[in-house]
């Protein structure tokens, strides 16, 4: 994991996260687990597109109930890490500030499912949903064994689309990225997280970051500025240093047209906030309105957030001038820790 740089970024003000209408999680199928087979759709798949649509609709109904009650127990029935880690922490954060619901999260207006032909467990599929506010979200579902329920494992709000067209056969079945196609990409899917973590670390140390691998944008060259802006928007007054690295969750990868791939992966972000100039204390009021609901009221020498960033990227084939586009994310603080003269407190 990349260590925090010595340079500290000044912030004016705590973390916030936009909640998915339908909650998310991390798909756990290896890239080579299910080969692409000619005529595969003629086999007897364990999950069909109709099956996947029923799973998606059940998930949306359960997720809406959980959002309305901040029910982590209900979320455990429909999510698995890393998405579950983000959403459980979000529920705790809202409850600790006196909230009882996430409020209006919009409604799903259009659904699509992308289901590979699969004849053995684990099973997975990808879904996209158009929400009433005009946004699009991706959700990756997985079912490790026949005894398990379908759960969402990872997801992303699409903020720099459009979604690429995925490869589908005549029967409408999608194609998981296999090892041969992965090797032909500009960057293999399992190298995306380390490469983006390096770019973010460089962005922290440079006023004009650039990349030969990634297109410039909110989730690449401007990502660190976005993190600083989230802290500033919460009213935090201090200096922040960052650490970035891959999070230990498998990638989700589907074959797209023109030799591309749609890849979902995860990064870990560590943010350490100190008083400006090292003087004074960081103050969390009784309302928990500055450092968020995961930090108890008090005066602190440092506040540290552990954040997960779930990202979606379109990866072009190697040998082309095209760069990787990071088109979506789902992020949240999953833990907070403080230090003071009395020691360390973990929320």
Question: For the chain, which residues make up each domain, given as ranges?
Answer: 9-346
Residue predicted with more confidence, 105 or 160: 160
Query: Measured between alpha carbons, how far is 6 from 52 in angstroms, rounded to an integer?
Result: 48
Helix (H, G, I), strand (E, B) or coil at 150: coil
Q: Nearest to residue 254, comparing CAs of 8, 31, 21?
A: 31
Residue predicted with more confidence, 35 or 243: 243
Query: Measured between alpha carbons, how far is 30 from 38 in angstroms, rounded to an integer?
Result: 20
Query: Can you tell me the mean pLDDT for 64-91?
Result: 94
Residue 31 reports pLDDT greater than 70:
no
Q: How many CB atoms lie within 10 A of CB 42?
A: 12
Query: Measured between alpha carbons, how far is 328 from 163 in angstroms, rounded to an integer?
Result: 9
Categorize the per-residue pLDDT at 210 as very low, low, confident or very high, splitting at 50, 70 and 90: confident
**What is the DSSP secondary-structure string of 297-331?**
SEEESEEEEEEEEEEEEEEPBTTSS--BEEEEEEE
Residue 83 reports pLDDT greater than 90:
yes
Phi then psi dihedrals of residue 146, to 5 deg: -60, -30
pLDDT tens figures, 231-247: 999 999 899 999 999 99
Query: Measured between alpha carbons, how far is 255 from 176 in angstroms, rounded to an integer?
Result: 6
Query: Measured between alpha carbons, how far is 89 from 108 in angstroms, rounded to an integer?
Result: 24
pTM value surpassing 0.75: yes
Phi then psi dihedrals of residue 44, to 5 deg: -100, 95
pLDDT for the residue numbered 45: 93
pLDDT for the residue numbered 347: 52
Query: Measured between alpha carbons, how far is 260 from 257 in angstroms, rounded to an integer?
Result: 6
- N residues, the chain: 347
**What is the DSSP secondary-structure string of 189-255?**
GGGHHHHHHHHHHHHHH-SS---SSB--STTTTTHHHHHHHHHHHTT--EEEEEEEEE-S---EEEE
H or E segment and range at residue 9 = strand 9-11
Query: Measured between alpha carbons, how far is 62 from 59 in angstroms, rounded to an integer?
Result: 5
Q: Which residues pair with 152 in a beta bridge?
A: 79, 141
Categorize the per-residue pLDDT at 199 as very low, low, confident or very high, splitting at 50, 70 and 90: very high
Query: Can you tell me the mean pLDDT for 182-209?
Result: 90
| 237-259: burial string, b at 16+ Cβ within 10 Å, e else | bbbbbbbbbbbebbbbbbbbeeb
pLDDT tens figures, 291-313: 999 999 999 999 999 999 999 99
Write the DSSP symbol of residue 287: T
Categorize the per-residue pLDDT at 205 as very low, low, confident or very high, splitting at 50, 70 and 90: confident
Chain-centroid distance of CA 160 in Å reads 14
Categorize the per-residue pLDDT at 1 as very low, low, confident or very high, splitting at 50, 70 and 90: very low
Which residues are CB-neighbours of 110 under 8 A, at least 6 positions away? 129, 130
Categorize the per-residue pLDDT at 341 as very low, low, confident or very high, splitting at 50, 70 and 90: low
Counting Cβ atoms within 10 Å, is residue 275 exposed (0-12), middle (13-18) or buried (19+)? middle
């Amino acid at each position: 994991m990349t260590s925090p740089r010595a340079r500290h970024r000044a912030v004016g003000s705590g973390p916030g996260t936009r909640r998915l209408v339908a909650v998310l999680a991390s798909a756990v199928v290896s890239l080579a687990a299910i080969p692409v087979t000619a005529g595969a759709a003629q086999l007897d798949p364990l999950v069909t597109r109709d099956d996947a649509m029923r799973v998606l609709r059940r998930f949306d109904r359960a997720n809406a109930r959980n959002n309305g009650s901040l029910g982590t127990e209900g979320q455990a029935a429909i999510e698995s890490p890393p998405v579950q880690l983000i959403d459980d922490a979000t529920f705790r954060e809202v409850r600790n500030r006196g909230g009882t619901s996430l409020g209006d999260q919009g409604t799903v207006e259009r659904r699509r499912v992308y289901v590979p032909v699969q004849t053995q467990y684990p099973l997975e599929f990808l879904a996209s949903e158009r929400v009433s506010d005009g946004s699009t979200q991706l959700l990756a579902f997985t079912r490790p064994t026949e005894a398990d329920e379908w759960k969402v494992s990872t997801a992303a709000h699409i903020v720099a689309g459009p979604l690429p067209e995925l490869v589908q056969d005549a029967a409408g079945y999608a194609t998981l990225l296999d090892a041969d196609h992965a090797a032909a990409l500009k960057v293999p899917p399992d190298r995306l997280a380390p490469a983006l973590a390096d770019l973010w670390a460089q962005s922290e140390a440079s006023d004009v970051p650039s990349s030969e691998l990634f297109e410039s944008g909110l989730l690449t060259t401007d990502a660190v500025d976005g993190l600083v802006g989230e802290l500033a928007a919460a009213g935090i007054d201090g200096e922040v240093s960052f650490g970035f690295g891959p999070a230990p969750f498998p990638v989700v990868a589907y074959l797209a047209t023109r030799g591309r791939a749609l890849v979902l992966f995860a990064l870990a972000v560590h943010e350490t906030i100190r008083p400006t100039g090292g003087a004074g204390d960081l103050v969390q009021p009784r309302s928990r309105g500055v450092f968020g609901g995961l930090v108890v009221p008090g005066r602190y020498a440092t506040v540290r957030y552990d954040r997960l960033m779930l990202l979606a990227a379109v990866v072009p084939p190697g040998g082309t001038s095209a760069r990787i586009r990071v088109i979506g994310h789902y992020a949240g603080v999953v833990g907070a820790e403080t230090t003071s003269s009395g020691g360390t407190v973990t929320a």
